[in-house]
Amino acid sequence: MLDLKFIRENADLVRRAIHDKGEKADLDALLKLDVKRREIIGQVESARAEQNKMTGQIADMKKAKQDATDVIKAMRGLSDKIKSFDDDLRQIEEKIYQIQIRIPNIPHQSVPVGDAGHNKIIKEWGSFTEKDFTPLPHYEIAEKLNLIDFNRASRIAGAFFVGYRGLGARLERALINFMLDLHVDKHGYVEVFPPFVTKRDSMFGTGQLPKLEEDMYRIESDDLFLIPTAEVPVTNLHREEILDGEELPIYYTAYTPCFRREAGAYGKDTRGLVRIHQFNKVEMVKFVRPETSYDELEKLLANAEEVLQLLELPYRVVNLATGDLSFAAAKCYDLEVYAQGIGKWLEVSSCSNFDDFQARRANIRFRPFKGAKPEYVHTLNGSGLALPRTVIAILENYQTDEGTIMVPKVLKKYMGVDIIR
């Protein structure tokens, strides 16, 4: 969330961010309400000063044994006036807040301006070996090898849910363990295992609410949400806390299932694993000092890249344009892996810096040094990685002409086999 003073003093910048991100927030209404708010605050302060003056006057009159009835009556009228001002102020501040929470984060100056067509590819890594046969799409080879059961999962939970079995289930588990081990043992993250449901205020803290509520699975009786990503519970680990500056940076990694209704996405990528309602993901989350956050973003990106490099999957890095950025992000890199069977680049990670946007919403602060005034941390997160599309790339890129799947070298010790038959 943006600070109200910042919005007031940088109205043109905020207006441009709203436009460039394609959001809807009535900035002009907020600015008018803010003017009215400050007028009322001035009136309240003036009335309270007069009230204090009257209090002293009444005390002096009583001390001098004078009749203070008229002054007391006037002060009561002033008290009623102040109460009315306070009521008006609360209503105005609530209106301001409802607009303020719908204003997106400001894109970083290095973010391209425009819609998704202006996304900029900044790096490509690896190459795929041209096959002398046409590789099957993942959903066909997965069914042939009995790795994924699409039909039974749909009977259990409905469309866009899948179930893994046999070596398919083992591949999923192998990827999770490999990624967690890499991030903990080499990259220095602390592994956590958070709840898979979260309260409304946690969803608000990371920016999913109020904008994306229709995309979320909600348990109405308890007003809880199934998490759309581990970003939500892990970022909220330090909600309403003041951290010791010497502890920063703090790195966490977590495996969780993720649940997304993706309302409005029906009709897109309806076959296979490209778009499903429940999927597994390993997440990385950082809490850092503001002056280091963009260096930390590059390190976060490198951590996610190393997963793909070790899996020997060709990928590219995309600097997302303003119109493709999330509501809360200031800058985001997408990692897209190439899948030969369906001939598409697929997003497997988004690595984002949120500046202090999430920290303000979740009230996560730190003291730069002992005795210093608390400041808001900067938060970052990135997928390391999302599994469905990583599995797609493995099934399609490691496919052989015999209809088997070669296991990536780095996964062999986790899988216990060299070939998926």
- The catalytic position among 170, 260, 361, 365 is 260
Segment (H or E) for 203: helix 200-206
- The catalytic position among 37, 239, 361, 389 is 389
Within 13 Å, how many C-alpha atoms sit on residue 72's CB side?
9
- Strand extents, DSSP E, 289-408: 315-319, 331-339, 344-353, 365-367, 375-376, 378-386, 405-406
- The catalytic position among 275, 326, 336, 349 is 275
* Dihedral sign of CA atoms 22, 23, 29, 34 in order: negative
pLDDT at 233 over 90: yes
- The correct answer on CATH 3.40.50.1100 for the domain covering 116-420 is no
- Catalytic residue check, 90: no
Tens of pLDDT, residues 253-268: 999 999 999 755 555 6
**What percentage of the chain has pLDDT greater than the value 70?**
98
Q: What is the C-alpha separation between 309 and 410, in angstroms, rounded?
A: 10
**What percentage of the chain has pLDDT greater than the value 90?**
89
Tens of pLDDT, residues 16-36: 999 999 999 999 999 999 999
Architecture per CATH, domain 4-100, reads as Orthogonal Bundle (1.10)
Annotated domain spans of the chain:
4-100, 116-420
- The catalytic position among 350, 352, 361, 365 is 350
- Catalytic residue check, 347: yes
- The catalytic position among 347, 360, 367, 375 is 347
- Catalytic residue check, 173: no
Write down the pTM of the prediction: 0.93
Question: Which one has a higher pLDDT value, 238 or 265?
Answer: 238
- Catalytic residue check, 389: yes
Tens of pLDDT, residues 106-128: 999 999 999 999 999 999 999 87
- The length of the chain is 421
Tens of pLDDT, residues 170-189: 999 999 999 999 999 999 99
User: How confident is the model at residue 326, as a pLDDT?
Assistant: 97
Q: What DSSP state is assigned to residue 43?
A: H
